A = this chain, B = another copy of it.
């Protein structure tokens, strides 16, 4: 067997069959009650005209930085102004099957990004070709991006259960009802308002009260709601488990 050190000792980068490393980003947000993913339109072959996850080559930077850079470029958000501070970014999985890109060997490190509701990337900016698409309509993506998106969604749904991730989808101050909307549209099912309310407040460190309320009630009636901000918990205990699906088990 050829081990790493002996290989590298005699390694000439210019002879070796090249492998390209990219990052792809599954960026999720909630717009008007619908879970959406950021997609770009491909102009060139292969997969011309199809949609794909935003991504690009890794430069002289960490993988995390590359993912954040791609996200910022495509959304038009600018670093350094705090706009990206509330974006949660985590590594998802790496995809490297030979043939996933027909031109060459490409190993892609996929990231998952969670953002509060953002404006549509404005035409005229660098990011004009990117837009938010409801996840239900994001099909037939280029490369193996259907799989990447599916893995990202499953990760997101799972992380809502045992982390305070849902707070990354709402504004800095939010109501319990808004939080319930997040769970509802990420999990794809309505949750019982009363039980959800009691449960959220019973998890230590999930949310903390601001002492204030919304200035108005709901659009279609209802009292003013108390405002909360994210607490200091990094894990929810006890967890908020999804309604049991027996078919998820086997």
Contacts and interface: CB of A to CB of B under 8 A. Distances in A.
Interface residues of A, number: 56
Interface stretch (A25-33, A52-60, A80-88, A185-193): A52-60
A7 B97 CA distance: 20
Nearest to A56: B4
Nearest to A57: B7
A250 B61 CA distance: 29
Interface string A29-47: 0000000000010111100
Contact of A3 (B3, B8, B56, B109): B56
Nearest to A45: B5
Interface string A1-25: 1111111110101101111111000
A107 B104 contact: no
A104 B8 contact: yes
Contacts of A244: 237
Contacts of A45: 5
B4 A57 contact: yes
A126 interface: yes
Interface of A is mostly: loop
A21 B107 contact: yes
A224 interface: no
Interface-centre pick from A18, A43, A56 (highest chain B CB count, 10 A) = A18
Contact of A6 (B44, B97, B109): B44
A249 B205 CA distance: 9
A14 B15 CA distance: 7
27 contacts: A1-B126, A4-B22, A4-B55, A4-B57, A5-B44, A7-B57, A8-B103, A11-B20, A13-B17, A13-B104, A14-B14, A14-B18, A19-B19, A19-B20, A19-B58, A58-B96, A58-B107, A63-B96, A63-B97, A94-B94, A96-B109, A107-B109, A204-B249, A205-B249, A233-B250, A235-B250, A237-B249
Leading 4 A-B pairs by shortest Cβ distance:
A13-B18, A5-B44, A63-B96, A94-B94
